[in-house]
Amino acid sequence: MLDFPVKLLDRFHQTWAPEKGPGAIVECTPIRVGRYPKLLVELAKKTPVHVIACTGFWCEAMAPQHPWALALGRKRDGIKRIARL
């Protein structure tokens, strides 16, 4: 499963000059949206590139609407405006 990603990261590493170090990637998939930290650890072990994984949550229960929708909801007739969108 990791063969292809390892090849890609090795190619990325080869594009860097040795004095710049191994390079790094940041994987930004949050928890509960298809993040696989164990696979990231295995990937990091197989390549010289530093793999940085973000932390944090994202789910509908914690972020039910965009800030602009929340702001509209507080205004008079805001819910009607949201419905028209």
- Burial call 18-37: b when 16+ CB within 10 Å, e when fewer: eeeeeeebeeeeeeeeebee
Contact 47, 10 (CB under 8 A): yes
- 14 pLDDT above the threshold of 80: yes
Structural domain boundaries of the chain? 3-84
The strand ranges marked E within the chain are 24-27, 50-53
Q: How far, in Å, CA of 46 to CA of 7, rounded?
A: 10
Angle at 39 between CA 43 and CA 11, to 5 degrees: 25
pLDDT of 25-66, one tens digit each?
Answer: 888 887 767 788 888 898 889 888 888 988 776 655 555 556
Is the pTM higher than 0.75?
no
Paired strand residues for 57? 31
31 vs 3, higher pLDDT: 3
